[in-house]
Structure 1
């Protein structure tokens, strides 16, 4: 995966250098929105970037609603999943307390369930990452923008 990303970066870097900064910024904003939308859809589908399903949530005894609760229902919202873009870079990231929660799941770290609660090792669930379809989408957007 990282080899594909590095190859895409090398290939696109030379082409992007030929664009004016305003055109690069406009392209980067479009790409950032598309990447965030794609990440949100993948989180909703509860899938890692490689297509495998997230590790299942541990059952809770005090679950009052009955039935299943989708993981990361609020975390995938745009107010938590921020995007930053300028002429030179694109970033889709979690900020604040959302970042702490996402980092614990992304890397399978130890964190507390609630403030002052017990420490638990979370299963690894990759919230952010590039899929092959996203890499193709970046390439297609770049080629389409350069063709105009």
Structure 2
């Protein structure tokens, strides 16, 4: 998604939203934020970047067996996509979706492909880039559709 697409949507929506009072804008922003968070959660569950490409696969590990001999490999970010980690804030003027605390550090490392230490006493690891948060073309369409829907009611 290009920054020009987002700024064009912002310019178009700004003029329409200026006509609404603060209470209506806040309610509309809350509805849009919930829909966007649900879309982000689904995309993370599907292991997809905002552009539709698959996440970089995990690096192979030698010790994947637990006590009972069961394979411990699961999808990445299963807990991180839960609403208690993926927070949303909406006011009459803005929408913010993001992570907080230790979740934010973990998400930042994967979002930008940074180096981090997986556990105390271990060597630093270079992580592949996996974009957890971002707006896709479908998200921009969702925002536009919700604005139109709200203004025509």
Q: Which band: TM-score by shorter chain?
A: over 0.9
Max Rg structure = 2
- Paired residue for 1:105, among 107, 110, 130? 110
1:116 aligns with 2:121: yes
How much has 1:99 moved relative to structure 2? 0.3
1:128 aligns with 2:129: no
1:80 aligns with 2:85: yes
Report the TM-score when normalising by structure 2: 0.94
Which runs of structure 1 show a deviation greater than 6 angstroms over 4 or more consecutive aligned residues? none
CA distance in 2: counterparts of 1:70 and 1:98, whole angstroms: 16
Q: Which runs of 5+ in 2 are unaligned?
A: none
**Helix, strand or coil at the partner of 1:127:** coil
CA distance in 2: counterparts of 1:126 and 1:33, whole angstroms: 19
CA distance in 2: counterparts of 1:74 and 1:116, whole angstroms: 24
Q: Which runs of 5+ in 1 are unaligned?
A: none
Residue in 2 that maps onto 1:10 = 11
* Count of matched residue pairs: 148
